[in-house]
Amino acid sequence: MKSLIYFLIIFISSTLYSQETILSFQNLDIKKNIKNVENYSLSDEKTNNLAIILGQKDKITGYLYNSNFEKIGEAAGISLKKKYSEIIGYSITNESIYTLVYSTDSGKNFEYSTINFETGKIVSNEIDFKLDDEFYLETIHYKNRMIMMSATKNDLLILREFTEDFTFEEMSPFRLDNPNEDHKLLTNQFSFNAFDPFKTTIYGITKIDNNVPNTISHTSNKSKLYQKDDNIYITVEDEKSKRTILKILNLSDLKLITKTLKYPEGKKENFKNFNSFIYGQYFFHIASSRDEMIFQVKSFDNLIIKEFYVAKESTIEFKNSPIFQRGSTYSYGSGKKNLNTTKQFLRKITSSNLGISVYQENNNYQITFGSSEVIFNSGRLSNFQSRGTTFNTPGGSVFVPSYSPTFSSFNSYGRSKDVFTNGLFDNTFNHIEGEVLENNIFDRIKEFQDELKWDTAEDVFIHNGTTYFSYWNTREQTYFLLQF
């Protein structure tokens, strides 16, 4: 009876939030009312199959579904999870073999778990490979292949592919700095272990998924990575030389090109704070001081397409929302108020980590601009860092990597101290006055999630061009997958 009532609640909630429950199933081997459940969603780019991986302690169960969400395979086995705590990526071979790759907290040693949906078995072993004098940065998924990125202290970016022989094979090294210049672009970024942010300040690379909204807390990092088709875009803010360095790496031919885009210049004084963002074929720059702010829409050749400016004594004419201040240093994720003046806004964003975020929906661009700070809890970073999150500190952003930038972006919603406002623009970046911004897809998922009980192991991911939300219900021992 209780199960029936719960399923009725899910049905009513799905109707209210215009969502569709795609599938659900029970796994009675996962212990009831215990939240230490893991949930991973692995999308096959070639066949549009979907693998759902559930784990509890060292037990793993995998379910394989075709593009119509009909189950076509199942597997179970044991992992080495006690030692290897962070999943960094996966590869797919022969359509039925999915391999998860885990790392130790140090980011030096690795393990794999191969899920074979033909045999129904899962095999886990350590990988005979170690990152000695390098630092793990991120993982790229490209045509079902897994490519690991690491860096040396001398700004050497190294790409390695995880092979069918269960090891990492070097593809190519790339030098990211200019040896003729006095400074190095990435040396400070990767000066020590990326998995231990408590030793000193680290500026990590934040992987951006442009298919979903991104919060200012996620985009205010000074180094970002984007993936589109065959290309990887890496941006590094070089504030000393007043420019953004853009590296474009083609994964099909392994060619690397470099572009530089100059920062905007202030009309009253020199700007104090800078950042950038890439969306589609456009490059966005933002700069601020206590007296003024500017953001520009550019081409990759630094040609200014549109420019928007505001001074502290003026109102922000290109915004469509209040100036929000969200979060508190004293209570996790709470504390909500709005700012009233441009002067307040400029003072806040210039003294923190400036950022800009762009997302297109219904043929219009929603542009968010503001700043972000970390929320500390008893002297430690908030505990939402698992599976990748950016933490902004007074010295910069700390990033714990994730194999899923979609989930990382979703997980950053409401988790930091942000000051921001939103503007709505048409497809040629003319401001649309008077329009009220609608809730984006993450807002709708959050509203739905707030109505749930006994949920854990949530995941947000994109599969075959559609955004999905999944979770495990601890009371009913049931997995749910919903389409948004």
What are 73's strand-pairing partners? 64
Structural domain contains residue 405: yes
Per-residue pLDDT of 416-439, as tens digits, reads: 789 999 999 999 999 999 887 888
pLDDT value of position 117: 98
Residue with token string 């029936």: 4
Lowest mean pLDDT: which of 81-85, 157-161, 314-318, 426-430? 81-85
Q: What is the Cα–Cα distance from 298 to 242, expressed in whole angstroms?
A: 16
The whole-number average pLDDT for the span 341-349 is 97
The whole-number average pLDDT for the span 205-227 is 94
Using 50, 70 and 90 to split pLDDT, how confident is the model at 354? Answer: very high
CA distances from 392 to 98, 159, 217, 355, 403 (A): 34, 27, 7, 11, 20
Structural domain contains residue 306: yes
Structural domain contains residue 270: yes
Structural tokens at position 90: 């996966």
Question: Which is more confident, 156 or 113?
Answer: 113
469 neighbors 480 (Cβ within 8 angstroms): no
Structural domain contains residue 111: no
Q: What is the Cα–Cα distance from 13 to 257, expressed in whole angstroms?
A: 49
Other CB atoms within a 10 A radius of the CB of residue 408 amount to 26
> Cα torsion for 433, 438, 442, 444, to the nearest 10°?
170
Q: In this model, does residue 196 exceed pLDDT 70? A: no
Structural tokens at position 481: 């997958």
Structural domain contains residue 128: no
Say how many Å lie between the first and final Cα of the chain, rounded.
28
Please give the tally of structural domains in the chain.
Answer: 1
Per-residue pLDDT of 433-467, as tens digits, reads: 988 788 889 999 999 999 999 999 999 999 999 99
406 neighbors 209 (Cβ within 8 angstroms): yes
403: exposed, middle or buried (Cβ count in 10 Å: 0-12, 13-18, 19+): buried
Give Cβ neighbours of residue 165 (< 8 Å, ≥ 6 apart).
none
321 neighbors 370 (Cβ within 8 angstroms): no
Average pLDDT of the chain is 85
* Cα within 13 Å of Cα(163), Cβ side: 10
pLDDT value of position 389: 44
Structural domain contains residue 262: yes
Q: What is the Cα–Cα distance from 164 to 226, expressed in whole angstroms?
A: 26
pLDDT value of position 402: 63
The whole-number average pLDDT for the span 236-255 is 94
Q: In this model, does residue 270 exceed pLDDT 70? A: yes
**Phi, psi (degrees; rounded to nearest 5) at 122:** -120, 125
**In terms of residue numbers, what domain contains 208?**
200-438
DSSP H helical segments within 299-437, as ranges?
342-350, 405-411
Q: What is the Cα–Cα distance from 403 to 231, expressed in whole angstroms?
A: 18
Question: Which is more confident, 353 or 58?
Answer: 353
Q: What is the Cα–Cα distance from 3 to 10, expressed in whole angstroms?
A: 11
Coil/strand/helix, residue 306 = strand
Structural domain contains residue 428: yes
- Whole-number percent of the chain with pLDDT over 70: 82
Let me know the angle formed at the C-alpha of 190 by 259 and 125, rounded to the nearest 5 degrees.
115
Other CB atoms within a 10 A radius of the CB of residue 337 amount to 11
Length of the chain: 484
pLDDT value of position 434: 86
* Helix, strand, coil shares, percent, the chain, to 5: 10, 50, 40
Using 50, 70 and 90 to split pLDDT, how confident is the model at 203? Answer: very low
Q: In this model, does residue 149 exceed pLDDT 90? A: yes
pLDDT value of position 12: 52
The whole-number average pLDDT for the span 359-369 is 95
Structural domain contains residue 264: yes
Instruction: Of 115, 102, 105, give the one whose Cα is nearest residue 42.
Output: 115
Q: What is the Cα–Cα distance from 210 to 206, expressed in whole angstroms?
A: 12
Number of helices and strands in the chain (H, E): 5, 34
The whole-number average pLDDT for the span 123-152 is 93
Lowest mean pLDDT: which of 8-22, 265-279, 429-443? 8-22
Q: Which amino acid, one-letter code, is at 398? A: V
Q: What is the Cα–Cα distance from 417 to 348, expressed in whole angstroms?
A: 11
97 neighbors 61 (Cβ within 8 angstroms): no
